[in-house]
Amino acid sequence: MSNNYPQPLSGMVVPRFGEVATFMRLPIERDPARLDIALVGVPWDGGTTFRPGARHGPREMRNMSTLMRRVHHASLVSPYELCRVGDHGDTPVNPIDLHDSLKRIEGFFARLHQAGAAPLSAGGDHLVTLPILRAIARERPVGVIHFDAHSDTSDAYFDGQKYTHGTPFRRAIEEGLIEPRRMIQIGVRGSIYERGEKDWANSVGIRIVHIEEYFRRGAEAVIAEAREIVGGGPTYVSFDVDGLDPVYAPGTGTPEIGGFSTAEAQRMIRLLDGLDLVGGDVVEVAPPFDPSGNTALVGATLMFEILCVLAPAVARRKNLS
Ligand code: MN
Ligand code: MN
């Protein structure tokens, strides 16, 4: 190794079923100043409206991430050669207080952001993306590439509740954290409460690619458009695992049939290489609904895929070599 960046524990030295499970078998590093990319768990699902369980996502994704090896087999990128990546632990949460949780989560990511580390997080339900963006996008709004079966731009749920995993992107846009004209949602589908449900999203300029359009045009064309939409500006990647067909990811709170496959998700993420990515998350992995562990494996693998396009972006921005 030409640098002394943190490296994953090798399965050639300690078998991959051994030792304490951390994200990608990286060392735990609690000091954000020592990281360029922080892998973070957000064990919280207090914004869930249907079946909870995503609070258990980070631990199971850590476990399954021990299957990730150092080098991406297609791009041959090893993120750990490009920058300092470590397991930064879990954010504090309050399992019985939504607003206190949002504050705690934001504080954790704000500390990271001030230290200059980019976050790649494991949820948690999708509301966790809001405090992450509050921490990293206050001074400069981001573009967003959002994979999901749902638009998550509802105004309120159940008697006027403004903060649920169905509302994070509406709140983030209202708070000026996202440039809506630099946002694209891919994979949206499923029955809706009313015909005009996407009117607000459309009116602020979010590009919604419903799953029917995705299958008609294919990954290459859709991601080519996504790249045009986000352009050269800072861009965040948010991957709700329910964007996948539940055949591939049954362990999630709000499954919708008819989604894209894991192979298609991998192809789309790889095509994000070269964008100015500033962070990402994989959310809504709810292990209790998938005792096989496959959804956690899917989540961990998607984190690795995102890491392999995020690390080159971080290295470019920081002029690391
Ligand atoms: Mn979502
Ligand atoms: Mn969803």
The answer to whether residue 72 sits within a structural domain is: yes
Cα(318)–Cα(118) distance, integer angstroms? 11
Q: DSSP class of residue 9?
A: P
203: number of Cβ within 10 Å:
9
Cα 23 to middle of ligand 1, angstroms: 22
Structural domain of 187: 33-320
Is 181 among the domain residues?
yes
CA of 148 to the centre of ligand 2 (A): 5
Q: Is residue 264 part of a domain?
A: yes
Q: What is the CATH number of the domain that holds 260?
A: 3.40.800.10
Q: How many angstroms does the Cα of residue 8 sit away from the middle of ligand 1?
A: 30
Confirm whether 49 is domain-assigned.
yes
pLDDT at 2 > cutoff 60: no
Residue 252 makes CB contacts below 8 A (sequence gap 6+) with 54, 241, 242, 246, 284, 285, 286, 289, 295
| Span from the CA of 47 to the centroid of ligand 2 (angstroms) | 12
Q: Could you give the percent of the chain with pLDDT greater than 90?
A: 98
* Nearest ligand to the CA atom of 255: 2
Rounded distance from Cα 215 to ligand 2 centre (Å): 18
What is the Cα–Cα distance from 134 to 130, expressed in whole angstroms?
6
Q: What is the pTM of this model?
A: 0.98
Distance (angstroms) between ligand 2 centre and the Cα of 253 equals 8
Q: How does DSSP classify residue 285? A: -
CB 42 within 8 A of CB 128: yes
Domain assignment present for 21: no
**CA 190, CA 210: separation in Å to the nearest integer?**
10
- Per-residue pLDDT tens for 227-278? 999 999 999 999 999 999 999 999 999 999 999 999 999 999 999 999 999 9
In the chain, the number of structural domains is 1
Q: Is 12 among the domain residues?
A: no
Distance 4 CA to ligand 2 centre (A): 39
127 pLDDT higher than 60: yes
Ligand nearest to the CA of 125: 1
CA–CA dist 138, 114 (Å, integer): 12
- Domain-embedded: residue 13: no
Q: Is residue 266 part of a domain?
A: yes
Cα of 252 from ligand 2 centre, angstroms: 9
